[in-house]
Amino acid sequence: MTAYIVTHTTRYRYSQPVSVCHNEAYLVPREFPRQQCRITQLQIDPAPAVRDAREDYFGNRVVYFAVQKSHTVLRVSATSEINVIPLEPFDMEASPPWESAAATIAADTELSAYRLDSPLIPTGSKWSEYARPSFPAGRPLLLAVQDLMGRIFADFKYDPGFTTLATPLADVLAHRRGVCQDFAHLGIACLRSFGLAARYVSGYILTEPPPGQERLVGADASHAWFAAYCPTFGWIDFDPTNDRLPTDQHLTVAWGRDYSDVPPLRGVILGGGSHDLEVSVDVRRV
């Protein structure tokens, strides 16, 4: 078991006072058999008048809060203690052929939300054409997904300046560049275009420091990858940005159909003029 402390801080600064803000935060990491998160301290400054936690449709922990007094800076900081159980090695060869997996998935209504188009992820021939080489007839599903992940890693350039949230996924495919969210969306679009179920995972990754150097605090950002559903194996994570299977260095916060289901923080403000944003994430092993 590996233990981490994650601190994720967001700060909005406004040119004019904001009288009210309504926000929703996906900052409290969820728990599942391979991950425990006993404590999350969510500090909001100025103190919100309303704060309400609930579980969303996908089982994520979402916090609604509203600041109702005039402010020019909003600071939201989440500090979580997380334990991760490393992924046991498993035999991808043993996974069922992708075609039969797709048939099983189609019959499972619990998976429907992850199989159909979602707000930011369309499906269709564009995506299946790109993914086709990874899906020869009869290949075990997980091997096919692993191959797809490798190809996305090799074909696409990591380019933070190229895309924004509004960039359609088709542009990412056409220009072969994007960031981790784009690559996760791309992998999901490919899998869904073959009738498979895939979900978007939002979280953090520990960036290993170069040997002999102090790791940089705050250099890490929030990260995203995808997970594929495989009958008998369950959900398996794949990180196309790093071309690796998350073992124990990926910390999950939330999952959904795509980014729009689980943005770290969203909000609507009244007033405020223009604003700027500063984000830092610090993932420390303890």
Partner 1 sequence: MESRPDHWLFGEYRPPTGLYDEACAGPGELREHFRDVIEAFETLKPEGLKARSQEAQRLLRESGVTYSIYDDPQGPHRPWTLDLLPMVLTHAQWKTIETGLSQRAELLNRILIDLYGPQQLIKEKLLPAEFVFAHPGFILPCFPMNFPQNRPLVLYAADLARDRQGEPIVLSDRAQAPSGAGYALENRLVMSRVMPNLYREAQVQRMAMFFRAYRDTLASLAVHSKGEPRVVLHTPGPDNETYFEHAYLASYMGYTLVEGSDMTVRDSRVWLKTLEGLQPIDVILRRVDDSYCDPLELRSESLLGTPGLVQAVRRGRVAVANPLGSGLLENPALPVFLPQLCQALLGEELKMQSVPSWWCGRPDDCRYVLEHLEELFIRSIKPQAEKRLIRGDHLSAAEKASLIERIQQKPHLYVAQTPIELSTAPVLVGDRVEARRMSLRCFLVARQHGYFALPGGLTRVAGQADQRIVTNQTGGLSKDTWVIQAAEPEAPWVLPLTPARKQLLTRGGDDLPSRVAENLFWLGRYTERTESLARLLREAMWRLLDRESDFFPDRGLSHLLQTVTHYSTTYPGFVGSDAASKLAEPRNELMALLCDPGRIGGMRFNVHAVLRAARSVRDRLSDDTWRLMNSLEQMIATPGTLSDLLENAERLILLLAGFSGLSNESMSRGPSWRFIEIGRRLERALGMLTLLRLSFPAKLPEGAQPIRILLGVSDSWKTYRLRYGSTLQSDGVLDLTLVDESHPRSVGHQFVRLHELVSALPVKVQLPRRSTEERCLLEAQAALRLADVLALAPPAADQPPAPELDQLLSKLRGLLIALADGLSQSHFSHTLELPQQLVDYR
**65 and 26 in contact (C-beta within 8 Å)?**
no
Among 39, 41, 45, 52, binds partner 1 (CB under 8 A): 52
Single-letter amino acid, residue 85? I
46 vs 263 by CB, closer to partner 1: 263
Quick one: 122 or 150, whose CB is closer to partner 1? 122
Pull the structure tokens for residue 259. Answer: 């980014």
Tell me: does residue 132 bind partner 1 (CB under 8 A): no
**Integer Cα distance of 156 and 172 in angstroms:** 9
Q: What is the chain's Cα-based Rg?
A: 20
Separation in Å, CA 167 to CA 100, 172, 266 = 34, 7, 18
The verdict on 22 binding partner 1 (CB under 8 A) reads: yes
46 binds partner 1 (CB under 8 A): no
Residue nearer to partner 1 on the CB measure, 140 or 178: 178
Q: How many Å apart are CA 208 and CA 157, to the nearest integer?
A: 21
Phi, psi of 241 (to 5 degrees): -70, -30
50 binds partner 1 (CB under 8 A): yes
Q: Smaller CB distance to partner 1: residue 16 or 100?
A: 16
Work out whether 200 is an interface residue with partner 1 (CB under 8 A): no
| Per-position DSSP letters for 25-72, written without gaps between them | EEEE---BTTEEEEEEEEEEESPPSEEEEEE-TTS-EEEEEEE-S-EE
Query: Is 57 a binder of partner 1 (CB under 8 A)?
Result: yes
Asked whether 21 and 66 are in contact (CB, 8 A), the reply is: yes
What residues between 86 and 115 interact with partner 1 by CB under 8 A? 109, 112-113
Tokens 């900052």 belong to 27
Residue 117 sits in the site that holds partner 1 (CB under 8 A): yes
Q: Is 240 an interacting residue with respect to partner 1 (CB under 8 A)? A: no
Report the residue number, 120 or 143, with the smaller CB distance to partner 1: 120
> Quick one: 143 or 224, whose CB is closer to partner 1?
224
- The one among 47, 94, 103, 165 contacting partner 1 by CB under 8 A: 165
Residues interacting with partner 1, by CB under 8 A? Answer: 10, 12, 19-24, 49-50, 52, 54, 56-57, 64, 66, 68, 109, 112-113, 116-117, 124-125, 165, 179-181, 222, 224, 259, 261, 263-272, 275, 277, 279
